[in-house]
Amino acid sequence: MHFDVFTIITVLTVLSALFAFINTKFLKLPFTIGLMIIAMCFTLVIIGLGHFNNSVMVNAKELINSIDFKTLLLEVMLSFLLFAGALHTKLDALAKHRGPIMLFATFGVVVSTFIVGGIFYYVAIAVGHQIDFIYCLLFGALISPTDPIAVLGILKEANAPKKLEIKIVGESLFNDGVGVVVFLVIFSIAQKGIAAVDAEEVGFLFFEEVFGGIALGLVMGWLGFKLMKSIDHYETEVLITVALVMAIYTIAHAVHFSGPLAVVVAGILIGNKSPEIAWSKTTQNYVDKFWEVIDVFLNAILFVLIGFELLIITINGEYILLGLLAIPVTLIARYIALKGPIMLFNKKLEFIPKTDMIMTWGGIRGGISIALALSLQPEMERELFVTVTYVIVVFSIIGQGLTIGPLVKRVIGKSEVK
């Protein structure tokens, strides 16, 4: 059976709405976590029915295989999700914590990449699975970016201190872009071989992607701001924000700049300058509500898709074991990567108690890691890393996502959380 684009979007939207209703009416779990759990249960039912009627399983797999998850997330959904998050990030709070946030998103991602890659290399050998070290580094790069979309709502429910929330939000907004850049650099080395890539080329690629992305975001964000400042028509201004996101990502892709970083910078610029200068109260209300709905809709589709990916991963005992062993490896690597910046800025910014522990457990992995794993070449142990990544993401979203709220309350204490 052939599935066209409209049919795929319709199926995903209908199922997302149905799962959201079930979660809201009965389960009452955090929105994205509930959707993913229901989608996984639905997938298991399909797998069960497939034993009795093979056509059910065949059609379901064909539907999922017809969705290019990597392209859909990295080149379509991610730009809108990051812009929606950046739009509501206050620059004054971000600026105050810019030091640790930048270190978390850059130094932290690189350190985590090498720690995860190094430890996993020896863990795989201990299990009897020999993997080239460069592929382990690729795995370290794709699993290091955090995606705390699912956890932000829980942090708010737990009344987590704003200075903790801004660190997690700020880190996530920037480390997605940096993580993708680190992945692309290592991917290039893995493809060409270390001998064919010199340090100057690697440095230029990193500089071009990161600083080019930031510059593009500033220029395009300023242009969008000036356009909206010159009019007072909320329909047109909402349309300008949508066009801006799509234009930034298209230009970034064409000139090899980091699209995620460009979108984040533009979103922060517009979200902080426009309410005071460019937007009327009506425009601000419509822009905010529009991007909130976009955020909810795309997150619903994303987490339902993560649940459905269970249909196409390789269920292999060794792969599952390596996935389970990789969970503590990624947590340890994240803790170590965060520890340095936290110690460096602790006295100056007066971090709340156990910030390292809370941020380690609150660093949820999500769709970006799966999308990057799916982009690996078959010879790069793609099947293994897709399965291992999926195991980590599922544990991260469900295990960490459902327990971060109670952890915040327990560690910080009632007096601190208020």
Question: Which sign does the torsion angle of CA 380, 384, 386, 390 carry?
Answer: negative
Residue 48: pLDDT band (50, 70, 90) is very high
d(CA 381, CA 49): 30
* Mean pLDDT, rounded, for 408-412: 82
pLDDT tens digits, one per residue of 127-146 = 999 999 999 999 999 999 99
Q: Using an 8 Å Cβ cutoff, are 86 and 274 in contact? A: no
- DSSP code per residue over 133-170: HHHHHHHHHHHSS--THHHHHHHHHTT--HHHHHHHHH
d(CA 240, CA 234): 10
Backbone angles phi and psi of 245, in degrees to 5: -60, -45
Cα 373 to Cα 28, 219, 274, 337, 382: the distances in Å are 31, 32, 38, 22, 7
Q: What is the pLDDT of residue 106?
A: 93
Residue 198: pLDDT band (50, 70, 90) is confident
Cα 406 to Cα 28, 291, 411: the distances in Å are 16, 29, 9
Amino acid letter at 43? T
Q: Using an 8 Å Cβ cutoff, are 396 and 338 in contact? A: no
Q: What is the pLDDT of residue 89?
A: 87
Q: Using an 8 Å Cβ cutoff, are 343 and 75 in contact? A: no
CATH number of this structure's domain 71-417: 1.20.1530.20
Which sequence spans correspond to the domains of the chain? 5-65, 71-417
pLDDT tens digits, one per residue of 309-367 = 999 898 899 999 999 999 999 999 999 999 999 999 988 877 888 899 999 998 899 99
Residue 172 predicted with pLDDT over 90: no
Residue 417: pLDDT band (50, 70, 90) is very low
Residue 157 predicted with pLDDT over 80: no
Q: What is the pLDDT of residue 193?
A: 80
Q: What is the pLDDT of residue 203?
A: 84
d(CA 150, CA 303): 9
Better-scored residue on pLDDT, 103 or 163: 103
Residue 416 predicted with pLDDT over 60: no
* Mean pLDDT, rounded, for 30-40: 93
pLDDT tens digits, one per residue of 244-293 = 999 999 999 999 999 999 999 999 999 999 998 999 999 999 999 999 99
When mean pLDDT is compared over 27-31, 236-240, 309-313, the highest value belongs to 236-240
d(CA 184, CA 202): 10
Percent of the chain with pLDDT over 70: 95
